[in-house]
């Protein structure tokens, strides 16, 4: 019996050692969040990679993928977004291998076994028993197709496919993509070139063009091109006439069982697409490309090291969260068709309204040089297009959901000391948002309703999303004041600090479900609005009472026409990140505010799947009860996150849900645009951040367990530390934050409140 126990102990040590030696990228599971409302992209990508080849299972899926195996595989396109809501974008340049029904351009297959890892995806196409493997570089994708039979086989290139196509042509479709044109040319016995041109999508963008060059490792025997559903055997070119085009390459048995395909992508030209292909994948070594992509991920994932005592599920959740956070925005430096610039160029900010709260601050912690490039890209866009985007896709600004939240990214970079950014130009870009009405479509960029905001001190019900805009503009103004003060622009500082109080102009002493005081609608005459006219087709009522729990969309007004964007007054009335002290006072003091927060969570007014409430579980810190923040946060994570396909509580929104999770698992959470992180009970006994400056910062939780989930005391670099927050600079300097954990709360964090205006 003793010998058996010894053997089990040895096995246990062996597996712990093996786990410790496993590359971190093996802890990434791209299927997490691919089901439910997560909308995660499951195909391979490099960090911030321009090319994202992956499976398309349904034309109206945002990521192309559907977790339900009942949905067939339609093909693999080269461009995708990840985690987004609204209408789809991209899904361009689709290919599909097949080995039957050779006269048809319509090919789909039931799905067999699927495997997804960082940098890799594979699937068995059940119809023909073809194994498809995918990997990618930054701007070129690589496919390996293994056929089951030695007979004739084919690979289809569809330049007309895209995601989100309306079932019937509708030029007025608000969020659907629309086909503009496509062209294909067979340029040799193993090469096809061309482009696709699409407009619209979620951001209502102008036309964008994706150019491609595709090459095979085997020459094909015959080929056909097509236009408007008709095949043309042997015809080399289908010119752009506003109709869908494509090509099919046919191989006989001499090609062998395996055919490899490389596809270079460009937004400039087919020649640039071929250049990208030759530069990034010069040979036919699939595993070499895969290894290079995995090492890119390993380098970034290694920036955060968690204790080996973490469970396997925790490790997978955490590192997959990091992975999700670095899929977008997309680095298109040198691939901007609109202007030539040596500055970084990023696209697919989808949207900053989602990412400014935790995704960008997480990048600032683990790869600040990347965040510098992202901010400089925003300034590059401002310099050329006139405004920084809140969202941008397909080289086009649009849409704004609430505030001008690129302002927050500039302030966040400034207060955290990121170097290499022209903050004077940044301030000018922020001032453009604050002073110049965008005109035209007021949801494209800048601040819609600005004429009201700058005269009345709030956005009235003359404009849609008035509540969201008012509270977010107030915080954007605080961010402007922060940068202005640092640049010694005292007049601007005083003006915008005062304007940051504008949220109070919509604060009404209204009682609802045990709480008093809410952000509520007000018209341009200054009167409070108690009822809203319903104007959507077939609305169930003509008017609705507006109260703090009212949701006026989509049954009363259109989705983008609500007073609040995607939330209720109960949620937005807690969003005053710069002045929680005044928020508490206007809510009736600390005891009343605690009661308000308890009602908010206990009555399930909190929506874990939406960004306006990202900071809210941490608000107990400002009443001296960080222990209650930790309790709420752990309950939210334990009940809403897991490693299943439905393991994210909502749209990941370019890594927003994932970065929220990762910060809290480390025991920190940022108040974006300000210089500190709130401290909470972590999930790991030890987390080490390996910083770009070469200095490590460790968060150590002694005696952490399910029972010992309360922070009893804290030391920073060996010295007692009573604050419930830590400054960014303390992390940058390196050192240790040591948390003593226990089974009961203590007086730690109860005496000094976090910063507030």
Q: What is the end-to-end Cα distance of the chain in Å, rounded? A: 66
Domains and CATH numbers, the chain: 31-299 (2.70.98.10)
3 state DSSP class of 246: strand
3 state DSSP class of 211: strand
Tokens of 157: 């290139």
For the segment 704-724, the average pLDDT, to the nearest whole number, is 97
Task: Give the per-residue pLDDT at 171.
Answer: 62
C-alpha 64/C-alpha 162 separation (Å) is 9
pLDDT interval class at 545 (50, 70, 90): very high
Average pLDDT, the chain: 95
The string over 464-481, giving b where at least 16 C-beta atoms fall within 10 Å of a residue's C-beta and e elsewhere, is bbbbbbbbbbbbbbbbbb
C-alpha 504/C-alpha 521 separation (Å) is 12
Distances in whole angstroms, Cα of residue 575 to Cα of each of 99, 450, 475, 534:
57, 20, 9, 27
Is the CB of residue 754 less than 8 Å from the CB of residue 621?
Answer: yes
Is the CB of residue 184 less than 8 Å from the CB of residue 227?
Answer: no
Is the CB of residue 619 less than 8 Å from the CB of residue 631?
Answer: no
The answer on pLDDT for 675 being more than 90 is yes
pLDDT interval class at 11 (50, 70, 90): very low
Question: What are 241-281's pLDDT values in tens digits?
Answer: 999 999 999 999 887 899 999 999 999 999 999 999 999 99
Is the CB of residue 573 less than 8 Å from the CB of residue 584?
Answer: no
Is the pTM here over 0.85, yes or no?
yes
Is the CB of residue 146 less than 8 Å from the CB of residue 258?
Answer: yes
Is the CB of residue 211 less than 8 Å from the CB of residue 217?
Answer: no
The answer on pLDDT for 332 being more than 60 is yes
Could you give phi then psi for residue 10, rounded to 5 degrees? -65, -45
3 state DSSP class of 530: coil
- State which H helix or E strand residue 193 sits in: strand 191-200
pLDDT interval class at 172 (50, 70, 90): low
For the segment 307-330, the average pLDDT, to the nearest whole number, is 97
Nearest to 115, CA basis, from 39, 55, 170, 204 = 55
The answer on pLDDT for 49 being more than 50 is yes
For the segment 77-97, the average pLDDT, to the nearest whole number, is 96
The answer on pLDDT for 712 being more than 50 is yes
pLDDT interval class at 9 (50, 70, 90): very low
Percent of the chain topping pLDDT 90: 93
- Residue length, the chain? 757
For the segment 735-745, the average pLDDT, to the nearest whole number, is 98
Is the CB of residue 650 less than 8 Å from the CB of residue 609?
Answer: yes
Question: What are 421-449's pLDDT values in tens digits?
Answer: 999 999 999 999 999 999 888 999 999 99
Is the CB of residue 249 less than 8 Å from the CB of residue 223?
Answer: yes
Question: What are 344-388's pLDDT values in tens digits?
Answer: 999 999 999 999 999 999 999 999 999 999 999 999 999 999 999
Nearest to 90, CA basis, from 182, 168, 173, 176 = 176
For the segment 448-467, the average pLDDT, to the nearest whole number, is 97
- CA-based Rg of the chain, rounded to a whole angstrom? 27
- 682 φ/ψ sector (left φ>0, alpha ψ -120 to 50, else beta): beta
Q: How many CB atoms lie within 10 A of CB 693?
A: 10
Question: What are 491-514's pLDDT values in tens digits?
Answer: 999 999 999 999 999 999 999 999
Is the CB of residue 192 less than 8 Å from the CB of residue 214?
Answer: yes
Distances in whole angstroms, Cα of residue 50 to Cα of each of 60, 335, 395:
21, 9, 13
DSSP strand pairing (696-702 vs 735-742): parallel
DSSP 286-320: HHHHHHHHHHHHHHHHTTEEE-TTS-HHHHHHHHH
C-alpha 665/C-alpha 355 separation (Å) is 18
Task: Give the per-residue pLDDT at 409.
Answer: 98
Alpha-carbon dihedral sign for residues 100, 106, 107, 109: negative
The answer on pLDDT for 173 being more than 90 is no
What are the start-end ranges of the E strands in 326-410? 330-331, 346-347, 392-393, 396-397
Q: What angle do CA 2, 8, 9 make, to 5 degrees?
A: 90
Tokens of 535: 């104007």
DSSP 642-673: -SSTT-SSS--TTTHHHHHHHHHHHTEEE-TT
229 secondary structure, DSSP code: T
For the segment 63-79, the average pLDDT, to the nearest whole number, is 97
For the segment 62-89, the average pLDDT, to the nearest whole number, is 96
DSSP strand pairing (725-727 vs 676-679): antiparallel
Is the CB of residue 182 less than 8 Å from the CB of residue 160?
Answer: yes
15 or 191, greater pLDDT: 191
Task: Give the per-residue pLDDT at 163.
Answer: 97
Question: What are 563-622's pLDDT values in tens digits?
Answer: 999 999 999 999 999 999 999 999 999 999 999 999 999 999 999 999 999 999 999 999
Q: Which residues pair with 264 in a beta bridge?
A: 140, 213
C-alpha 218/C-alpha 224 separation (Å) is 17
C-alpha 725/C-alpha 39 separation (Å) is 33
Residues 6+ apart with CB under 8 A from 3: none
- State which H helix or E strand residue 146 sits in: strand 140-146
Tokens of 232: 């043309």
675 or 11, greater pLDDT: 675
Q: What angle do CA 528, 530, 532 make, to 5 degrees?
A: 115
pLDDT interval class at 151 (50, 70, 90): confident
pLDDT interval class at 20 (50, 70, 90): low
Alpha-carbon dihedral sign for residues 696, 702, 708, 711: negative
Q: Which of 18-27, 236-245, 542-551, 687-696 has the lowest mean pLDDT?
A: 18-27
C-alpha 695/C-alpha 686 separation (Å) is 16
The answer on pLDDT for 12 being more than 90 is no
Is the CB of residue 320 less than 8 Å from the CB of residue 706?
Answer: no
Is the CB of residue 331 less than 8 Å from the CB of residue 49?
Answer: yes
Distances in whole angstroms, Cα of residue 581 to Cα of each of 87, 508, 584, 620, 629:
39, 17, 5, 11, 16
Tokens of 111: 């799905």
449 secondary structure, DSSP code: T
Q: Which of 95-109, 163-177, 307-321, 522-536 has the lowest mean pLDDT?
A: 163-177
Alpha-carbon dihedral sign for residues 15, 16, 17, 18: positive
C-alpha 478/C-alpha 672 separation (Å) is 12
Q: Which residues pair with 232 in a beta bridge?
A: 225
Residues 6+ apart with CB under 8 A from 594: 620, 623, 625, 628
Residues 6+ apart with CB under 8 A from 181: 196, 197, 240, 241, 242
DSSP 156-194: EEESS--TT--SS--TT-SS-EEEEEEEEEEEETTEEEE
């Amino acid at each position: 019996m003793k010998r058996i126990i010894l053997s089990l102990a040895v096995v246990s040590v062996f597996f712990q050692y093996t786990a410790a030696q496993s590359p971190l990228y093996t802890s990434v599971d791209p299927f997490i969040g691919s089901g439910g409302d997560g909308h995660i992209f499951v195909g391979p990508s490099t960090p911030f990679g321009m090319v994202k080849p992956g499976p398309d299972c349904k034309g109206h899926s945002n990521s192309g993928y559907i977790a339900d195996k009942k949905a067939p595989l339609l093909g693999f396109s080269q461009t995708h977004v990840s985690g987004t809501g609204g209408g789809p974008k991209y899904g361009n340049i689709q290919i599909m291998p097949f080995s039957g029904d050779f006269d048809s351009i319509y090919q789909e297959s039931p799905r067999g076994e699927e495997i997804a890892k960082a940098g890799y995806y594979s699937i068995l196409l059940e119809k023909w028993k073809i194994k498809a493997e995918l990997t990618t570089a930054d701007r070129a994708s690589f496919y390996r197709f293994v056929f089951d039979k030695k007979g004739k086989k084919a690979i289809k290139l569809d330049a007309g496919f895209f995601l989100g196509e309306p079932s019937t042509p509708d030029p007025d479709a608000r969020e659907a993509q629309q086909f503009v044109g496509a062209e294909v040319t067979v340029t040799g016995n193993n090469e096809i070139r061309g482009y696709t041109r699409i407009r619209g999508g979620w951001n209502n963008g102008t036309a964008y063009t994706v150019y491609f060059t595709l090459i095979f490792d085997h020459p094909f025997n015959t080929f056909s091109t097509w236009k408007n559903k008709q095949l043309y055997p042997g015809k080399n070119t289908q010119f752009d006439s506003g109709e869908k085009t494509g090509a099919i390459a046919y191989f006989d048995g001499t090609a062998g069982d395996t055919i490899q395909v490389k596809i270079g992508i460009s937004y400039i030209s087919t020649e640039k697409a071929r250049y990208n292909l030759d530069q990034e994948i010069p040979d036919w070594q699939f595993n070499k490309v895969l290894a290079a992509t995995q090492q890119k991920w390993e380098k970034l994932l290694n920036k955060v090291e968690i204790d080996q005592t973490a469970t396997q599920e925790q490790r997978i959740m955490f590192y997959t969260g990091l992975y999700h956070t670095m899929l977008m925005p997309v680095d298109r430096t040198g691939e901007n068709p609109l202007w030539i610039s040596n500055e970084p160029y990023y696209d697919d900010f989808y949207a900053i309204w989602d990412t400014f709260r935790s995704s960008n601050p997480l990048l600032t912690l683990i790869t600040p040089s990347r965040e510098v490039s992202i901010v400089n890209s925003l300034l590059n866009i401002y310099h050329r297009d006139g405004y920084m985007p809140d969202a941008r896709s397909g080289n086009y600004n649009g849409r704004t959901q609430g505030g001008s939240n690129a302002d927050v990214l500039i302030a966040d970079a400034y207060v955290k000391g990121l170097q290499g950014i022209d903050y004077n130009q940044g301030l000018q870009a922020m001032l453009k948002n604050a002073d110049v009405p965008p005109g035209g479509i007021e949801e494209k960029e800048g601040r819609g309703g600005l004429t009201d905001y700058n005269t009345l001190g709030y956005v009235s019900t003359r404009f849609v999303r008035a509540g969201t805009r008012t509270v977010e503009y107030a915080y954007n103004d605080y961010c402007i004041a922060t940068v202005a003060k640092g640049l010694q622009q005292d007049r601007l500082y005083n003006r915008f600090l005062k304007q940051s109080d504008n949220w109070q102009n919509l604060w009404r002493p209204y009682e609802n479900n045990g709480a008093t005081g809410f952000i509520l609608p007000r018209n341009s005459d200054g009167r409070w609005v108690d009822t809203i006219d319903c104007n959507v087709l077939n609305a169930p009522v003509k008017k609705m009472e507006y109260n703090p729990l009212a949701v006026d969309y989509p049954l009363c007004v259109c989705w983008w026409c609500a007073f609040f964007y995607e939330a209720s007054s109960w949620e937005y009335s807690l969003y005053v990140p710069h002045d929680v002290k005044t928020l508490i006072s206007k809510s009736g003091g600390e005891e009343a505010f605690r009661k308000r927060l308890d009602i908010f969570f206990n009555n399930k007014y909190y929506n874990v799947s939406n960004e306006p409430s990202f900071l809210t579980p941490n608000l107990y810190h400002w009443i001296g009860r960080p222990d209650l923040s930790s309790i709420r946060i752990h309950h939210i994570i334990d009940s809403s996150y897991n490693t299943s396909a439905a393991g994210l509580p909502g749209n990941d929104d370019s890594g927003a849900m994932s970065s929220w999770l990762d910060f809290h698992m480390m025991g920190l959470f940022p108040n974006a645009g300000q210089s500190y992180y709130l401290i909470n009970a972590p999930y790991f006994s030890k987390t080490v951040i390996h910083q770009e400056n070469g200095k490590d910062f460790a968060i150590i939780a002694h005696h952490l367990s399910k029972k010992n989930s309360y922070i009893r005391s804290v030391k920073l670099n060996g010295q007692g530390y009573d604050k419930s927050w830590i400054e960014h600079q303390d992390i940058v300097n390196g050192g240790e934050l040591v948390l003593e954990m226990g089974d009961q709360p203590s007086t730690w964090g109860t005496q000094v409140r976090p910063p507030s205006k």
